[in-house]
Structure 1
């Protein structure tokens, strides 16, 4: 017998297993017995009121095997001798595209310019400790893409893009805990993502697929309006049924290659700003309405903020981006001579600091002087601001920074706060680093955020710049129905780099869909099988 329950619980009732079991059985009217199994299937925290509530869906099994919430492994057919599908990039979009190609009976050949997750760590250490940026291996380039060394957030609003549950179950089968199937805003954590990514790789290789690390794509093989294959940096030519281009939002050389080869691309709006760092205790006090710490049961709190600003008669949004509770800030540059930061969190989110990108929308009409660059207008603007931030920090990976109230009141910070950012900070006037329209919008938004969240606007927080890789500044246009490039046949632009996703799950779903549509048109795959 199985009973389903919908409960509204206190934090202790929801997060303490013994208490949760007792409360659930009482609600179900079932005696406590070792043969009775109780589990949560959905959980979300409601912190809107003074008393924190946790909404929980649960299942109670009596004399019945509950099974697992998701399969613990997945079996893939061997495709070693099947036709090739080429995939450029081994981030979430590329890896999930490869697995879907295998499921549909074809052989994925994945090209990744960076290194595998283990080898990649040495280059990350060099960025943090020696300020040396390897343009082929960094926080953005390498196995798993930018998502490998991130908070591992799995929340997405892209519910029409694909089957979210399916993506979650594949992650569980490759090492993620079943908790990601339960939490309303699940995450994995930067400490656990590398092992999971390595398991995804093993599934691809064991099924007969190929993954080539430290292999950059430098040219395309185009004939008769079709993309026949790719050319690596060593000059090797590889052909396949089609190419899924899943290079991520920072592969500027790919955008230049497409433009040089007359492949249609478009300039795309994006967002730019800074990372804001507070103490996690302060954010907990704001979000959970507590005067001291959050207590033993509630997880470190996150926030989401948005404000519409008006500057010189133009309205633009300012919003929080990739908020990382209990996390740390890292240098995310992909080439020497630029300064970019990003945030991430370990699975327990137990660090002292909370950080979030606070970014302002950049529309193409905001940067008229860059229109001369055509489809690369926003890319050149982004690159110039990153160079300016690098110069402001002292031409190393030391980041320019300023306390929040000092920034808004146009006052230099005589001292900076302790930080999670390992390369270090330099006190500067961030208004001189940021584009004028960005700086003024951020200043307006910080004050508005302080009114929405009492205590948020404080000099006990600081701006750390520059947060500029929020999304791709270029879109590679594709047909809305077939996902194929509008002009170049057999090219399937995919994921964040093409302008069609914004996070691990949405990128993974986009990768799957690109694989399905490519093989539906050019492979021997029926529509019902692809869907």
Structure 2
């Protein structure tokens, strides 16, 4: 017999296994035996009142063998000699496009400008310790893309774009914990993601697919408004039935290449601002209404904030982005001469600090004279802000920073706070770095956010800049239903870099859809 229960529990009941079992057994009415199987289906924290509760949906099996959580022993067909497709980029979109292509009987050839995860670590160490930026191997470029060295957030609002459960099950089958199938806001953690990405690679290679690292695409093979393949920096021509372009939101050279080859692209709004860093214990106290600490059963608290601001008669939201509890801030520049910051956290989220992007939308109307750059207007604007931050902070990877109240009061921060940002901080007037409409809106919004989170607005927090890679500043257009570029046949713009995703899961789903559409239209067996 199977029963499904919806329970409202205390943190101690929800996260202490032995106590959790006792509560579920009592509520189910079953006798507790070794044959009784309890399996959580959904779990979320409700911290709206002063007494934190955990909502849990659980299924209980008595005298009945439950179905497996995921399909065990998933195998992929051998596509070593099958017709190939070319996939540019080995981030979530590219890797999941490759796996889906294999399922459809097509051989993926994945070209990645960066290195494999093991080799990539050395370049990240050089970036953090020696301030050396490798333009092809950094926090954005390399195996797994920007997602490999991130918090590994897996929640998305893109529920209409694909099968979220399917993506989660593939991640679990490649090494993620089954908790991601249960938690309302699942994440994997930057310490767990590299091994998972390696397992994805092995599945692709074992099925006969190809992955080529340190292979940068430098040109497109175009014939009569159709793409037949690409040319790499080694001069090699790589051909296929079509090309899935999954290069990520920071591949500026690809955007330049598309413009040079007269492939239609367009400027796209994005968001820009700073990373805000607090002590995690402060965020826990605010969110969980506790005086000392959150206790041993609750996870580190997160937050999501939005504050509307009006400037020059225009209303624009200031909002938190990619909040990382117990995390750290990292240098995410992709070229020397720029400062970019991003946040991530390990699976346990047990670091001392909490950080979050705090950003403002940059609309096309804000770009002014940058429109002379045509479809690259937003990208050039973004790049110049990053370069200004690099100059202001001393032309190293030390990041400009200012304490929160000092920023709003336009006062110099004579002493900065301890930080998780390894290359170090440089006290700077952030108003001098950020575009005027960004800094003014941030200064308006931050004190008002204290109304929702009492204690959030404090000089015991600091702003670290700049957070500028929230999304792609360029959109590569495609047909709404067929996903093919409207000008270049067989070209499938994909994922964050093309402007159609915003995180690991949405990018993975988009990669799958692009592979499905390309194969459905151009595979020889379909054309016969």
- TM-score using structure 1 length: 0.98
Distance 1:489 1:339 in 2: 37
Counterpart mapping for 1:215-294 below 5 A: 215-294=215-294
Residues 1:353 and 2:353 aligned together = yes
Summarize deviations over 1:352-373 as a string: whole Å, max 9, x none. Answer: 0000000000001011110000
Paired residues of 1:245 and 1:493 also in contact (CA < 8 A): yes
User: Do the aligned partners of 1:71 and 1:172 also contact (CA within 8 Å) in 2?
Assistant: no
Q: Which residue of 1 aligns with 2:371?
A: 371
- CA drift of 1:385 comes to 0.1
- Aligned twin of 1:184: 184
Q: CA deviation at 1:295?
A: 0.6
Please say which of residues 115-124 and 48-57 is displaced more in the overlay. Answer: 48-57
CA distances 1:387-426 after superposition (whole Å, capped 9, x unpaired): 0000111000000000000000011111000000000001
**1:524 to partner: Cα distance:** 4.8
Tell me the residue number matched to 2:482. Answer: 482
Equivalent pairs counted in the alignment come to: 527
Aligned to 1:29: 29
Deviation, 1:65, is 2.2
Residue 498 of structure 2: aligned partner: 498
CA distance in 1, matches of 2:484, 2:292: 54
In the TM superposition, residue 137 of structure 1 has moved relative to its aligned partner by 0.2
Partner of 1:361, secondary structure, is strand
Partner of 1:398: 398
After superposition, the Cα gap between the structure-2 partners of 1:191 and 1:73, relative to the gap in structure 1 and judged at 3 Å, is: farther
- Structure 2 alignment gaps of length 5 or more: none
Aligned partners of 1:70 and 1:178 also within 8 Å: no
Which is worse superposed, 122-131 or 305-314? 305-314
- Cα-Cα RMSD: 1.0
Task: Tell me the SS of whatever aligns to 2:281.
Answer: helix
Secondary structure in structure 2 of the residue aligned to 1:310: strand
How far residue 183 of structure 1 moved from its aligned partner, in angstroms, is 0.2
Residue 170 of structure 1 is matched in structure 2 by 170
1:173-225 deviation per Cα after TM superposition (whole angstroms, max 9, x unaligned): 00001000000000000000000000000000000000000000000000011
- Residues 283-305 of structure 1, C-alpha deviations (whole Å, 9 max, x = no match): 01111111110011100011000
The alignment status of 1:197 with 2:181, answered yes or no, reads: no
Work out whether 1:436 is the aligned partner of 2:414.
Answer: no
Q: Alpha-carbon deviation of 1:525? A: 6.6
Q: Secondary structure at the match of 2:299?
A: coil
1:319 matched to 2:282: no
Q: Secondary structure, in 3 states, of the residue corresponding to 2:438? A: helix
Unaligned runs of 5+ in 1: none
* Structure 1 residue matching 2:48: 3-state secondary structure: coil
Q: For 1:100 and 1:112, locate their aligned partners in 2 and report how far apart those are by CA, in whole Å.
A: 18
Is the CA contact 1:204–1:210 (under 8 Å) kept in the aligned structure 2? yes
Shift of 1:71: 3.0
Q: What is aligned with 1:452? A: 452
Q: Give, in angstroms, the shift of residue 472 of structure 1.
A: 0.2
| Residue in 2 that maps onto 1:208 | 208
The answer (yes or no) to whether the contact 1:72–1:172 under 8 Å persists in 2 is no
Residue pair 1:39, 1:59 contacting (<8 A) in 2 also: yes
Larger deviation, residues 318-327 vs 62-71:
62-71
1:456-504 CA distance string (max 9 Å, x none)? 0000000000100000000000000100001110000000000000000
**SS state of the match for residue 326, structure 1?**
strand
State whether structure 2 residue 88 is matched by structure 1 residue 88: yes
1:4 is matched with 4
Equivalent-residue separation in structure 2 for 1:198 and 1:68 (angstroms):
25
In the aligned structure 2, how far is the partner of 1:336 from the partner of 1:201? 29
2:157 aligned residue: 157
1:520 aligns with 2:520: yes
Partners in 1 of 2:286 and 2:31 — Cα distance? 40
TM-superposed deviation, 1:49: 1.1
Q: Does 1:69 align with 2:69?
A: yes
1:95/1:200 contact within 8 Å kept: yes
Q: Distance in 1 between matches of 2:72 and 2:201?
A: 16
Contact kept, 8 Å, 1:115 with 1:213, in 2: the verdict is yes
Which residues of 2 match residues 395-434 of structure 1 at below 5 A? 395-434=395-434
- Tell whether 2:56 aligns with 1:38: no
Q: Mean Cα displacement is larger for which, 284-293 or 163-172?
A: 284-293
**Residue 455 to residue 525, structure 1, CA distance change in 2 (3 Å):** farther
The 5-angstrom pairing of residues 123-138 of structure 1 reads 123-138=123-138
Q: Secondary structure at the match of 1:3?
A: strand
Q: Distance in 1 between matches of 2:72 and 2:391?
A: 49
CA distance in 1, matches of 2:474, 2:372: 15
Q: Alpha carbons of 1:525 and 1:402: their partners in 2 closer, same or farther (altered >3 Å)? A: farther
Contact 1:74 1:170 in 2 (8 A): no
Report Cα offsets for 1:95-146 as digits up to 9, x if no partner: 0000000000000000000000000000000000000000010000000000
* Structure 2: distance between partners of 1:203 and 1:123: 26
Residue 99 of structure 1: aligned partner: 99
TM-score by length of 2: 0.99
Matched residue SS, 1:452:
coil
Question: Match of 1:471?
Answer: 471
Contact 1:40 1:56 in 2 (8 A): yes
Superposed CA deviations along residues 10-63 of structure 1, whole A, max 9, x for unmatched, are: 111111111111111111111222221112111011111111111101011112
Moved more, 311-320 or 77-86: 311-320
Question: Partner of 1:384 in structure 2?
Answer: 384
CA distance in 2, matches of 1:129, 1:32: 55
Distance 2:420 2:526 in 1: 51
